[in-house]
Chain A
Amino acid sequence: MKQLFPLSLVLILTQTAFAFKVGLVLDKGGKDDKSFNSSAYAGATKAQKELGIELKYVEAMDTNAIENLHRSFAKKDFDLIVGIGFAQADAIKKIAAQFPEKKFAIVDGEVNLPNVKSLLFEEHEGSYLVGAIATMKSKTKVGFIGGMDIPLIRRFEMGYAAGIKKQNPKATLVSNYIGITGEAWNNPAKAKELALAQYNSGVEVIFVAAGASGSGVFDAAEEKKKLAIGVDSNQNWMKPGFILTSMLKRVDIAVFDTIKDAKEGKFAGGPVRFGLKSKGVDYSVDEHNDKILDAETRKKAEELKKQIISGQIVVPDYYKKAK
């Protein structure tokens, strides 16, 4: 051991001196939204602990600030700059072209440059699965609550609706959006009111894709003794027993892997799609929901998952429809 000590000291020193530096630009939601940004932040901090990289994260103030932040990171000695959220695509496109020697990654957006890795998620596939699960757990009515009315959330809704139809063609979908401004991501009070109204009208399971507003829906589920489905991160722990499952979007894994590859010199530009196959999207099972999500439901869900992966089921994609 003693001989090893100086060696490890040298290792530590060289590591800090030549540490791989990663800049993380979070979306306006900020790192504590318990959902999308939290997931990205978790992946980056995991890389910090396990890979010994140097991490600096910032939160965007407004659309113009995003470009400013990327430019500042690029001008400094950061090796990899990761942008979280579709709103950063334009900024990265511009800055990555001006700094071709730097590496960039973007989550939820597509930028076609050799030094940019685009991490894209097939949210509609995961939504399809939770749609089917929700329908198994209810009689006729299932609910959806979206945050801000934007194409990304429409994509969740469309996949979810398809999953419902597949499971029970007679089931109806009750769908609401919290708002039309960015404030909708952070309005649990209104989310709760919408959820209560849906539960009162006979809805039994609600899938909520609304960032930090989601907690309001979970409160309503507890109050009405009904079920809700979480999104992005595993949210089952937030109200154990009332959250059927969570539609996982493993931004954390995508961010971690990107940092790891870049550090090991294996960085490659271009789009990477995370679907059910690569477990980039999935539904969560843990100690908080293994009682409500019974074995039979899980078995059916796994079958559907296989069919989607093999291509037997093609889930409708809002983005493709829009084009």
Chain B
Amino acid sequence: MKSFLGFLFGVFLCLILSLFAGESPTHVLMVLLKSAFGSKYDLGLTLFYTTSLIFTGLSVCIAFYAGMFNIGAEGQLIIATLATAAVGILFPNVPSSLAPLFGIGVAIITGGLWGFIPGILKAKRGSHEVIITMMMNFIAAGIASYYVVGALKSTTSQNPESEMVSPNYLFKSFDPISQFFQDSPANLSLLIAIFLAVALHFFLFRSIKGFEIRALGQNEEAASVAGISGVQLKTLCMTLAGAFAGLVATNEILGSAGKFQLGFSPEYGFIGIAVALMARNRPLRIIFTAFLFGALQKGASDLDLETNAITRDFAKILQAVIILSVISFALIPLNFEKVKKWIKKQA
């Protein structure tokens, strides 16, 4: 509720800001709404961004529960996307009934590996996960550039991108979502992302392991006294975080582009942090906050095009204002029960 109020306040502030920039606030609001819901294509593109943001939001979220801060979602998703593309190119003859599953498996494993390394270093050696994951981001970017301008380089295009993966790997033929949102990159991965959010919710709040993770995140000493092994759980959580981020590969490779393009991610990994924070780490809420950020990501370029004064940079300011106001509203000691009582008293 507070997040929602904060969001409304943020939008309100943005409209005032746009007034100062010389744009009519109603026009700006209309552009933003049309940008998200205007047509099947518009909604599709927004949902495409949403899908990746759900994955990275969940990735940041699970690490938070175990008391860790995963800055490395960006690197995890890049390495997983690269590996999935590589497998799709190197093993073109996997039958089309198995290939997509194989691709998803590769994405989960490589993403997971990229989370496992900082996880085990944190658990066993106490190395700070923020430093390690940040370093791993650079390593992932390095490996990606190396292969994209080298071994996996496309022979038909001058772009820094890989070859197309074998068509066996693509969802296209049995993907109701991409058939519905024609021309837009939205695809089946959206359902995977939503399913994963629901599954994570039950895992965290309805299972013993989930309880242990939450206990560990809230008070490590108390948890260890209660016989919960921090080493194992921390490694597990970072590995899961990596695997979740790695699933972005299904959205990018198997679902839409079909090839690895350098710079394909508008920093999903970092926006994912805001997505998780705004959802206050609730997996189910992440679905909605991811959609919100997806709409803002899409709306930014539409604002640039539809208005005279609002440029790409101004659109980023608007995004930041909304994030800030949502987060600061969480600090206001607003108790809705008290408000209700007060209203009753007045009546």
Contact = CB atoms under 8 A, between A and B. Distances in A.
Interface of A: 28, 30, 56, 58-65, 68-69, 71-73, 86-87, 89-90, 94, 98, 108-110, 148-152, 154, 180-182, 319, 322-323
A65 B160 CA distance: 17
Interface hub of B141, B142, B159 (most chain A Cβ within 10 A): B159
B263 A149 contact: no
B324 interface: no
B305 A56 contact: yes
Given A62-B266, A152-B158, A323-B155, A30 B312 contact: yes
Interface size class of B (residues with CB under 8 A): 20 to 34
Contacts of A61: 266, 297, 300-301, 312
A232 B318 CA distance: 33
Interface of B is mostly: helix
Nearest to A26: B312
Closest 6 CB pairs of A and B: A62-B266, A180-B145, A65-B301, A150-B160, A59-B312, A58-B304
B298 interface: yes
11 contacts: A60-B301, A61-B312, A65-B266, A69-B305, A73-B305, A87-B159, A89-B157, A149-B149, A181-B141, A181-B145, A182-B263
Contacts of B155: 322-323
Given A151-B158, A180-B142, A181-B263, A59 B45 contact: no
B311 interface: yes
Interface of B: 41, 45, 48-49, 141-142, 144-146, 149, 153, 155, 157-160, 183, 185, 261-266, 297-298, 300-302, 304-306, 311-312
Interface hub of B157, B305, B306 (most chain A Cβ within 10 A): B305
Contacts of B41: 71
Given A86-B159, A181-B263, A322 B145 contact: no
A43 B32 CA distance: 31
Nearest to A152: B158
Contacts of B158: 86, 89, 108-110, 151-152, 319
A182 B262 CA distance: 9
Contacts of B149: 149-151, 154
A322 B301 contact: no
Given A28-B263, A86-B159, A150-B262, A64 B185 contact: yes
Contacts of A87: 159, 263
A98 B155 CA distance: 25
Contacts of B263: 28, 62-63, 87, 181-182
A25 to B, nearest CB: 9
Given A58-B301, A59-B304, A151-B153, 5 more contacts: A61-B266, A62-B263, A65-B301, A72-B302, A94-B183
